[in-house]
């Protein structure tokens, strides 16, 4: 479709002749402007429209609740821009799969209760032939689960070979993040911190001291009553959609992909390991307490909830309430960072036990449940990414001094074990989405609906025919591939919109996942 030049006012390319808008039963219309780009106008055209990323199939996948939530989010106080990504589906207040920008307010909802839920990728030097035998993969599954427990509430004390933690080390973890001292204490390679989107988070005033003071308050008031138990969850996966997945890396046969993959540290035809988890019970407690605090403030002062939704509570920046939230978010984020790095260290240790001599390096660690202060359209703003991940291309000032200054950083985009996952790199078109893309495929079925609709035997048979192993007797039915959106449509939407391009594909060889409810 031919398009006019990018409109600097709306940052949306306008078609010469628009197709009829897609109208849902809610009355909310999605206007298509390009193959995979559209927009939702605000009531009375009162501001910058909502950007929608998705091809025809994806646009039809957004249900009325999701669309109403995205409009509610955009119309909330202080919000200047909202993006709905192709993985978008109904969440709490704001949809999962959205980006929300505000220069003046902080919103816990578009971060979620699993603060800094993230993806990480470990690349090993093991050729794919080394894990072809099922017995080797079973041994690897056993070695990993002896070190990294799964499931809600479980910590490393429940496994034979996990790390042990003191309260003092736990305090250091949540206030320092992946500092050299923390990494050395936990056996994490110190250089892995350079492969993190953020290796450490500071308090609202830019200091670690404010985090220590906030943690003192949290422990003294028993907001976190069982700090030792929650710290003991470091190095563990949660339940639900959290997972560890052994992959075979397939770099695209393109010069640009090969050059970028070399910078990323990817090895074609070799084993890699993809992980998805967050801040576990510690982050959940902090986030839920913040929702209660802000609801109390709203009720005390008679402040109306945006669209009547309690999950869209907020705090104006600079207020004590905003400072408290930013500190709690940073504490949870530091836990999540160290949790991921420790999982990767334990996974590498497990591989070395089964396949002696194995080496491995962290490719990247990146969040999809976080608010970060960034420069958007020339000014500072808090970019809230709920089920969305940062996508910054090479040459962007924010990557100066990192290993990815020229290429752009890795984007880790999980699909599902059957259809694979990808490593991508951002393109210039991501500017229109506040330098963001979706965080994965996104659910198309609720958990109960999936359990009632999908056939367990068929799901297990599909994994068996694809020679993909997993750590439980049955694959969790509510996490089966068909419970999620078509990954090809999601990927097509990202690439057709010019947000990012694929560098490598990841083919699953085994999955570690728990059937328990996730922290998020």
Contacts of 373 (CB under 8 A, 6+ apart): 380, 381, 382, 383
Selected catalytic residue, list 201, 396, 409, 439: 439
Q: Is the dihedral of CA 417, 256, 198, 113 positive or negative?
A: negative
* Cα distance from N-terminal residue to C-terminal residue, the chain: 39
Dig out the tokens for 6 from the structure: 């990018």
Dig out the tokens for 171 from the structure: 């305090």
Pairing of β 436-438 and β 388-390: antiparallel
Q: What angle do CA 117, 120, 121 make, to 5 degrees?
A: 160
245 is in an annotated binding site: yes
244 is in an annotated binding site: yes
Q: What are the strands, taking DSSP E only, across 283-355?
A: 315-316
- Token pair 């202080």 is found at 78
241 is in an annotated binding site: yes
Please say if 89 is a catalytic residue. Answer: no
Cα-based torsion angle of the residue sequence 32, 37, 38, 42 in order, rounded to the nearest 10 degrees: -160
- Closest alpha carbon to 22 in 66, 70, 61, 73: 61
416 is in an annotated binding site: no
114 is in an annotated binding site: yes
Please provide the size of the chain in residues.
Answer: 520
460 is in an annotated binding site: no
369 is in an annotated binding site: yes
283 is in an annotated binding site: no
332 is in an annotated binding site: no
The number of angstroms, rounded, from the C-alpha of 284 to the middle of its chain's C-alpha atoms is 15
243 is in an annotated binding site: yes
- Three-class SS of 250-302: EECCCHHHHHHHHHHCCCCCEEEEEEEECCHHHHHHHHHHHHHHHHHHHHHHC
Which residues define the annotated binding site? 114, 241-245, 276, 368-369, 421, 439-442, 513
Residues with catalytic roles: 439
Which residues define the annotated binding site for Mn(2+)? 114, 242, 276, 368
Which residues define the annotated binding site for GMP? 241-245, 368-369, 421, 439-442, 513
């Amino acid at each position: 479709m031919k398009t006019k030049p990018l409109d600097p006012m709306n940052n949306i390319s306008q078609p010469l002749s628009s197709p009829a808008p897609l109208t849902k039963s809610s009355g909310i219309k999605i206007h298509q402007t390009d193959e995979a780009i559209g927009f939702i106008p605000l009531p009375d055209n009162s501001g910058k429209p909502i950007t929608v990323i998705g091809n025809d199939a994806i646009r039809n996948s957004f249900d009325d609740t999701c669309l109403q939530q995205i409009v509610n989010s955009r119309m909330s106080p202080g919000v200047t821009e909202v993006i709905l990504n192709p993985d978008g589906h109904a969440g709490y207040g704001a949809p999962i799969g959205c980006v929300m920008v505000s220069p003046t307010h902080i919103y816990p909802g578009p971060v979620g209760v699993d603060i800094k839920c993230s993806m990480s990728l470990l690349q090993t030097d093991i050729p794919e032939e080394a894990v072809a035998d099922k017995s080797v993969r079973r041994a690897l599954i056993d070695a990993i689960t002896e070190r990294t427990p799964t499931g809600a509430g479980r910590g490393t004390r429940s496994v034979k070979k996990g790390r042990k933690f003191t309260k003092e080390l736990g305090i250091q973890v949540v206030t320092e993040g992946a500092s050299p001292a923390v990494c050395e204490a936990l056996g994490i390679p110190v250089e892995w911190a350079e492969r993190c989107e953020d290796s450490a988070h500071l308090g609202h005033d830019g200091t670690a001291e404010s985090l220590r003071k906030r943690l003192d308050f949290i422990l003294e008031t028993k907001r976190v009553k069982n700090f030792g138990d929650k710290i003991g969850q470091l190095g563990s996966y949660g339940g639900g959609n959290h997972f560890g997945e052994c992959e075979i890396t397939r770099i695209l046969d393109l010069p640009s992909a090969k050059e970028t993959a070399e910078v990323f540290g990817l090895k074609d035809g070799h084993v890699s390991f993809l992980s998805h988890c967050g801040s576990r019970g510690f982050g959940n407690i902090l986030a839920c307490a913040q929702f209660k605090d802000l609801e109390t403030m709203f009720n005390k002062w008679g402040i109306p909830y945006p669209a009547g939704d309690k999950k869209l509570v907020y705090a104006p920046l600079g207020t004590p309430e905003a400072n408290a939230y930013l500190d709690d978010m940073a504490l949870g984020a530091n836990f999540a960072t160290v949790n991921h790095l420790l999982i990767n260290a334990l996974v590498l240790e497990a591989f070395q036990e089964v396949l002696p001599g194995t080496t491995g390096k962290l490719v990247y660690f990146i969040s999809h449940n976080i608010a970060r202060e960034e420069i958007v359209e020339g000014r500072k703003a808090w970019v809230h990414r709920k089920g969305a991940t940062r996508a910054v291309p090479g040459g962007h000032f924010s990557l100066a001094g990192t290993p990815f200054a020229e290429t752009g950083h890795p984007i880790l985009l999980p699909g599902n074990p059957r259809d694979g996952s990808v490593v991508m790199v951002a393109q210039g078109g991501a500017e229109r989405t506040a330098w963001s893309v979706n965080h994965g495929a996104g659910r198309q079925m609720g958990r109960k609906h999936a359990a009632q609709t999908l056939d367990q035997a068929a799901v297990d048979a599909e994994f068996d025919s694809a020679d993909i192993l997993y750590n439980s007797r049955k694959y969790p039915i509510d996490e089966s591939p068909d419970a999620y959106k078509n990954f090809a449509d999601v990927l097509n939407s990202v690439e057709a919109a010019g947000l990012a391009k694929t560098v490598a594909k990841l083919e699953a060889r085994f999955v570690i996942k728990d059937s328990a409810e996730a922290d998020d």
